[in-house]
Homo-oligomer: A and B are copies of this chain.
Amino acid sequence: MIFTTKAEYGVRLLVELGRQDSGTPVSLKAIAETEGLPLAYLERIVALLKKADLVESTRGAHGGYRLARPAHEIHMDEAVLALEGGIAPMSCFVEEREDGRVLCSHLDEGHTGCATRLLWTRVQGGVLGALAKTTLQELVDFAGPALVSTSTPDPVGAALPLHDAA
């Protein structure tokens, strides 16, 4: 079980925006370059954040994006939910819908099925809890000061060998 790159890139994008909460918008191009992410793909990702009212945009030349709220008011459950479109540990597990149905397998045949429901419920709770208690501000602090257009490398962490191409 794994989140997709939408969550990864989207959170990175938010962190980048959080680093310069100045009022002036940041262009996706700048973020794409400093983070080394594909611009076209970022466009689609940021659209999700905008729809969820986590970021605001200014169009035209010198336009870009900024946080719609201060970083410490943005909790990551909101962000990841917007990016991934739902937090369910199992396809057979979706929060109640309008029509009240819940996806699951063959319960009609006997009440079987979701003995596992208890488990997935707890897992979902664990994930949502971890996300909700983390604010964007924490991630910004953790990441260190601004990176976009200011290249002062390596204040923090610096460990973590990466990018396994194997």
Contacts and interface: CB of A to CB of B under 8 A. Distances in A.
Interface of A: 1-5, 7-8, 11-12, 15, 34-36, 76, 84, 87-92, 100-120, 122-123, 125-131, 133-134, 138-140, 142-144, 147, 151, 153-158, 160-164
Copies of this chain: 2
Given A101-B161, A110-B154, A116-B139, 16 more contacts: A1-B2, A1-B3, A1-B84, A1-B127, A2-B88, A2-B91, A3-B120, A101-B164, A102-B164, A105-B163, A107-B161, A110-B153, A115-B139, A115-B140, A115-B142, A119-B134
A43 to B, nearest CB: 19
State the majority secondary structure of interface residues on A.
Answer: loop
A163 B108 contact: yes
A154 B125 CA distance: 27
Q: List the 5 closest A-B pairs by CB distance, nearest first.
A: A115-B143, A126-B126, A107-B162, A126-B130, A104-B162
Contact of A133 (B35, B110, B122, B162): B122
Given A2-B1, A2-B91, A8-B92, A111 B76 contact: no
A162 B101 CA distance: 7
Contact of A111 (B103, B106, B111, B156): B156
A109 B36 contact: yes
B2 A112 contact: no
A162 B102 contact: yes
B116 A153 contact: no
A29 to B, nearest CB: 17
Nearest to A92: B8
